Each structure stands twice: as structure tokens, then as C-alpha cells.
Amino acid sequence: MPSNKSVSDAPIVQFTNCRILRDHQLQREDLWVREGKILNPEKLFFDEKGSADVQLDCKDSIIAPGFIDVQINGGFGVDFSLATDDFKSGIDLVSQKILSHGVTSFCPTLVTSPPSVYHQVLPQISVRNGGAHGAGVLGAHLEGPFISKEKKGAHPEHCLRTFEAGAFQDLLATYGSLDCVQIVTLAPEMRRSGEVIRELTKRGICVSLGHSVANLSQAEEAVQHGATFITHLFNAMLPFHHRDPGIVGLLTSDKLPAGRRVFYGMISDGIHTNPAALRIAHRAHPKGLVLVTDAIAGMGLAPGRHTLGQQVVEIDGLNTYIAGTKTLSGSVATMDTCVRHFQEATGCSVETALEAASLHPAQLLGIEHKKGTLNYDSDADFLMLNDSLYVQATYIAGEEVWRQDVSGM
């Protein structure tokens, strides 16, 4: 049957012999794509009397939404917290390289830096769609400098700041601009943080709690002001205590605004979080878990010395430390590795592991109508994976942008 071209001249591609992750289940269906969007085949058949122009046999692969990494500090020798005039080429390199890890969209993340770095770097970050050139950029994640000295982790102490009288103006002066900013991580116990959270939320910016010594009531208050995320749960915050569980207590708090879901990032690399802690968090609040890499410039490079913003870090296997210390500083894990480790550590379903890296980050950012699912009319950003969750191919807007080379295998 010839395609009906009355609606669009664009070719229709039908992906066959696959299991699609849709509505939290792997379903044996075909995936239909046209003009970068996922088509409803019923509408195509009955309203347009159309059919596929191209059929692709997926050889029983899993098809899942593309991964979304909302916390990545760099990789492949590129450090997003280092100001250079050629910053854009660094973003381009990382966005190209992470396609092989299944990442189709990401938030370049800057750790605590001097204002001059934000002023130089942020104007060079622009929100853009993904494609053959690389993964899409959703906006920057600014982790600091409004964080706790006690829980600074790998962040340089001399660059930390507090909120003074004109708190939001302080923040604007520090960053220079919020035009391309998607997430800000701050410590909610800081004085005047409430007004800052409200102002950021009003502008559509996601506020995340992290690098903090906040108690539970301070964390709950921050969520009441609009905060919706926790930066790398368990890391750089007070440890869980039964009388005051701190930020960790948000996972089961009953004092959150009605209908508000709190999401939390987890670095599932086998280093930052013990598998038992991963299991506890997942069982307590499975719908809020967002896998992040927290990857640094050394991801994809040999062990040795690399940078994280103003600090020198040493990579030893999967461990990354501030040089000369045992302070963990980001990770060198890739997103597909984190997904596999998460599934193995928690024993969760394949669907759950895949959604923690796709649907949940999309919901966190409020973009689930177009990213993070394979629903009809959403963006055709998706992966083909084998049953062990190794990425075989990456597609953005329905176009293949990376494929595993199997010739040498």
C-alpha cells in the first residue's frame, strides 16, 4: 500500500521485531517515526490511510527512551567548570562522545567557581536539540557556590558564598545570567534561601538541595518554597539519623505540598553509594530516583591527574579523589554503566532501571511530554539495547546518530 502524502511528505520509518518501553512495560509492538516524532499507527492507518516507507528489523532489541543526564561535569578531557574562549568546542566533544553511552540530552554542570568563570562560561552554553552532532543541551546545572562549607566535598572553599541582604540579586551578580540555567543546587539551611528558591522556581528553574547540613524541617521548608530535587543523595549531606533524618528524610516525608514529587539523583557507580543504600532509597521512593553520572573530565580517559573546576583530581580505577586526599570528586562512570549497576544492585526490573535514566529526569525537568518516553507525538530520541542493557544504537529525532561497531567482534 503506498504512503498517503496528504499529511506530510516526510518518510515514515517502521521499526519492527522489537520490545518497546511504553507505559512502564516492555511491549512487543512496532515503533513508527516521522519527522523526528513518534507516530500513532492507528491514526496513520485509519485517518491517513498511510503505511511505512522504510522498515527496519531491530532483531529483537529493546527500544527505550534516550537517557537524560542532569549532572555531568565534563568528560573526555573537557571540564565544564574551566573558562576557555573555545568552551563551545568542549561541549560539542562531550555531546558527541556520550551518544555511545545512550545519552541523548544532558545538563552541563558547573561546580563551585569564581564569578568570572560563570560570567565567561554561561553565555557560551545554549539550549539546543540533539542530532548527528551530539546529544541535546537542556541547560546548565549550577552546583554551588551557595553551599555548606562543612559539606563542600570537592568544591573549593575560597569560592563558596552565602546570601546577603539582597539574596536573589547576589545570586544574579554571581552567575551573571540565568538565561540558559536549568538547575541550581544550593544548601537550604542558608539564611534567605527561601526567597531565592521562590525566585528561581518562578523563573522555571529547578532547585536542588545538596552539599548541605540541613535538617529535615529545613529541607521540607525548601520543598514548600518550590525545591524539587536532591543532588546525589547521601553524598555531601548529613548522614541519615533516626531522630532527624536530614535531607534523606524527604524520601518519606508527609509534610510536602499535595501532589509534589521530590526527585533525587543517585550516582550508581558502585563507588559513591553502597548497593545497600541504593536499595534503601529505591525501595523507599522508587518514582523519584534519577540516575546521574556526576562525571568529570577524566571520564573516558586513562587513570592519572585531571581537573574538576579549580581542583586537581586523581583517578584510580573507578575512584576519583581530590589530589592528595581521600575526598571523592565526581565519577568516571558512564550512564549506561550506571543503569546496569542500578539494575544489578537493586534487582529491579529492566523497565525500572531504564526509566530512572529517562522518564524520571524528564519528569523532574517538566519535559516528559516530549522527552523520556516513547509516547505518541513525543521526540523520537531512543536507544536500541540488548537484554543485558548494553547500548547497540542511539537515535535522535528518529535518525541514527551512533551504532556499536560489531565488525571486530
Give the annotated binding-site residues for Zn(2+): 143, 211, 232
Strands 31-34 and 67-72 turn out to be unpaired
Q: Hey, is 216 helix, strand or coil? A: helix
Q: Which of 79, 294, 379, 381 is catalytic?
A: 294
In the block, which residue shows the cell 545519552?
103
Cβ-Cβ contacts under 8 Å for 17 (sequence gap 6 or more): 57, 58, 59, 60
Nearest to 196 by CA among 168, 174, 224, 234: 168
381 is catalytic: no
Please report the DSSP string for 313-381 in residue order: EEEETTEEEETTS--B--B---HHHHHHHHHHHH---HHHHHHHTTHHHHHHHT-TTTSSS--TTSB--
3-state helix, strand, coil in the chain (%, to 5): 25, 30, 45
Strands 25-27 and 12-22 turn out to be antiparallel
Residues making up the annotated binding site for substrate are 154, 235-236, 243, 272, 328-330
Residues making up the annotated binding site are 143, 154, 211, 232, 235-236, 243, 272, 328-330
The residues annotated with a catalytic role in the active site are 294
